[in-house]
Structure 1
Amino acid sequence: MADGTMSAKFMKSAFVGWTFTAGVYYPPDFDASKLMPVKALKPKGPQMMNIRMMFPFTMVCDSCKEYNYTGTKFTAKTEQIKGESYLGLKVYRFYGRCRHCWSEFTFKTDPKNSDYTMESGGKRTYEAWKDADAMEAQLKQEKEQEAAQDQMKALEQKAVDVQSEMQRLEDLDAIRTLNKRLGNRDQSIQSALDYLFQQDSQRNTEEEEMSQAELKELKGFKEEKDKKEEAEAAKAEASSSSSATPGSAILSAVQERASAAVAKAKPKFTVKVKRKAEEDREGESAAKKPCIEAATDAASTAAGTDCGGGLLGAYESDSS
């Protein structure tokens, strides 16, 4: 530089030796033919792969007798088993350690039964569904063998299979129809509303097409019917009111009968009792003579007669 200063780029280039090799030093006796490929540097033998997985089944450890339950996470080493496969599917082995005692256990995949098989270090607990699946597979195999030996049973089994297949197709068709209906929900609602509106408009047009005479006749018929209903309602109300108070009619009849009986038993004569006044009030033995006069006529009863002495009083009594 003219001013004696050096830039950072110049210093960096000077530091690596002006070779642009990023600081890599090649000695004078370097021979490229002696370099080994990267594949040769990889370790040989079975390749182990660390994965994080969960227990596919409940296991009892052989060392500590503790349970390692299904779904418990653990780190496992995985390797492919050489020379073992099922219908082209590879079989893998898993190495893991117990969560309690840290002892090692191994299990491998079972492609035939879509399951896992315990190999060492523990025991798998009993699972009812596994036995049920095994029994179902065994029964199916036995039926196939019987059908292969007996043609009649094979025909019956074929008929049953065809019937079940038809039932499955019908169920599938019903599900598709339902899904199609639900998929076109807005269109179905719109079509239903259009149908209702069309019915309403058709009803209105029919009412408008009716003649005036028919409307008048219909109105008169309705009025006559209303009057008839009102008359029947009034009649029913009157009958209900008369039947609702039977005691008043009975009471009036009893009163009339009692008044008639009293009028019939009343006598046609009156009795007047008159007492003679004492002639001598000073005497101890004053004679009193009652006077009883029976009068049949009303005038004679009103006049009255004097018996002996003075009239003390008149008493009228009706004999009942």
Structure 2
Amino acid sequence: MGERKVLNKYFPPDFDPRLIPRRKIPKNKQIEVRMMLPFSIQCNACGEFMYQGKKFNSRKEDVMDEDYFGVKIFRFYIRCSMCSNEITFKTDPKNGDYATEHGCKRNFEQWREREADEAAILKEREEEEKGDSMKALENRTLDSKREMDIIDALDEIKAINQRHAKVDTDAILTKFKQVDDPAPSEHILDEAAIQAQMEAFRKRKLAPTESINVANKAAKSSSAGLTSDHTNNDVVVAPKPSIKIKAKTPKTNKIAALKPVKAPVVALVGAYSDSSGDSS
């Protein structure tokens, strides 16, 4: 089983490694690499957008006669996914990024513009301070003042956070509950006021019924011929007028009254016999 893994190789006694021909590797040899786009680009030929993270089968090679403080720079070759146009870009160790070379255009990125502006401001400041020591001193003073302001702001934020950390949420809720809920004495006073209002309303409601009773008594005394003065401090009501009730007359049927009343047959026979007796 040990021979199957080929862990050991046999070297004959007459083996001479100097006789093995050496293989020459070209300096600009390209290697097949599976990679993803490090940034979003647009093809110059067809205008196709290819976004960051899109996978390609690329070719990688070393850039000849170009490095950054001994750091090698690599070039990558890819093709457009729409028109197969060749696109190249290379590494940029100075800025820790990539730079486009041929066949494409990099999309706008705001953070890159901000970094470029900051670098330009820093370079301009260095040029100002190069021949003017007073300007350099002023800039350092402004920087120290700015740092002190930042430290003071941070200390204030820390103090506010510490005060907030000491606050007990349950105590605050209890305090607000006490403010919202009135005291028991206030409850009692409110109930007494409500009862007084109800009593006054009940008295106002009973006053009209009492005046009606007084008016009825006055009407009865006036009909009996008794004159008496009824005085009331609150309400004075006049006696009620007498009411005459007429008996309802039954309705007569006009058609029945116009029709002649027929006499019964027995009465007619009796009348005829009486008339015959008189004639005899």
Q: Does the alignment pair 1:152 with 2:141?
A: no
Report the Cα offset of residue 243 of structure 1.
1.6
Gaps of 5+ in 1: 1-20, 182-191, 193-225, 269-317
Q: Distance in 1 between matches of 2:23 and 2:119?
A: 49
The residue aligned with 1:244 is 201
Q: Given residue 41 of structure 2, which amino acid in structure 1 is its aligned partner?
A: M
Report the Cα offset of residue 68 of structure 1.
2.9
Q: Measured at CA, do residues 238 and 76 of structure 1 come closer, stay the same or move farther in structure 2, by a change above 3 Å?
A: closer
Q: 2:20 aligns with which of 10, 13, 36?
A: 36
Report the Cα offset of residue 117 of structure 1.
1.1
Matches within 5 A, 1:209-288: 239-245=196-202, 246-256=204-214, 259-260=217-218, 263=221, 266-267=224-225
Q: Distance in 1 between matches of 2:189 and 2:154?
A: 64
Q: Distance in 2 between matches of 1:232 and 1:33?
A: 115
Q: Measured at CA, do residues 152 and 104 of structure 1 come closer, stay the same or move farther in structure 2, by a change above 3 Å?
A: same
The residue aligned with 1:112 is 94
Q: Distance in 2 between matches of 1:235 and 1:162?
A: 65
Task: Give the secondary structure class of the aligned counterpart of 2:200.
Answer: helix
Report the Cα offset of residue 155 of structure 1.
0.7
Q: Does the alignment pair 1:89 with 2:71?
A: yes
The residue aligned with 1:54 is 36
Q: Measured at CA, do residues 252 and 63 of structure 1 come closer, stay the same or move farther in structure 2, by a change above 3 Å?
A: closer
Aligned length: 195
Q: Measured at CA, do residues 167 and 232 of structure 1 come closer, stay the same or move farther in structure 2, by a change above 3 Å?
A: closer
Tell me if structure 2 keeps the 8 A contact 1:95–1:104.
yes
The residue aligned with 2:57 is 75
Q: Distance in 2 between matches of 1:78 and 1:173?
A: 56
Q: Distance in 2 between matches of 1:234 and 1:43?
A: 105
Q: Given residue 243 of structure 1, which amino acid in structure 2 is its aligned partner?
A: A
Gaps of 5+ in 2: 1-8, 169-183, 227-241, 243-280
Report the Cα offset of residue 53 of structure 1.
1.0
Greater CA deviation, 237-246 or 117-126? 237-246
Q: Distance in 2 between matches of 1:166 and 1:87?
A: 41
Report the Cα offset of residue 31 of structure 1.
7.2
Q: Measured at CA, do residues 169 and 108 of structure 1 come closer, stay the same or move farther in structure 2, by a change above 3 Å?
A: farther
Task: Give the secondary structure class of the aligned counterpart of 2:217.
Answer: helix
Deviations 1:84-105 (A, max 9, x none): 3334533211122222333322
Q: Measured at CA, do residues 237 and 75 of structure 1 come closer, stay the same or move farther in structure 2, by a change above 3 Å?
A: closer
Bigger CA radius of gyration: 1
Q: Distance in 1 between matches of 2:58 and 2:123?
A: 36
Q: Does the alignment pair 1:66 with 2:48?
A: yes
Tell me if structure 2 keeps the 8 A contact 1:146–1:153.
no
Matches within 5 A, 1:195-214: none
The residue aligned with 2:252 is none
The residue aligned with 2:149 is 163
Q: Measured at CA, do residues 84 and 174 of structure 1 come closer, stay the same or move farther in structure 2, by a change above 3 Å?
A: farther
Q: Given residue 89 of structure 1, which amino acid in structure 2 is its aligned partner?
A: V
Q: Given residue 127 of structure 1, which amino acid in structure 2 is its aligned partner?
A: E
Task: Give the secondary structure class of the aligned counterpart of 2:100.
Answer: strand
Task: Give the secondary structure class of the aligned counterpart of 2:144.
Answer: helix
Task: Give the secondary structure class of the aligned counterpart of 2:225.
Answer: coil
Report the Cα offset of residue 168 of structure 1.
5.9
Q: Measured at CA, do residues 63 and 240 of structure 1 come closer, stay the same or move farther in structure 2, by a change above 3 Å?
A: closer
Identity between Structure 1 and Structure 2 (%): 28
Q: Distance in 1 between matches of 2:40 and 2:69?
A: 28
Q: Distance in 2 between matches of 1:100 and 1:118?
A: 19
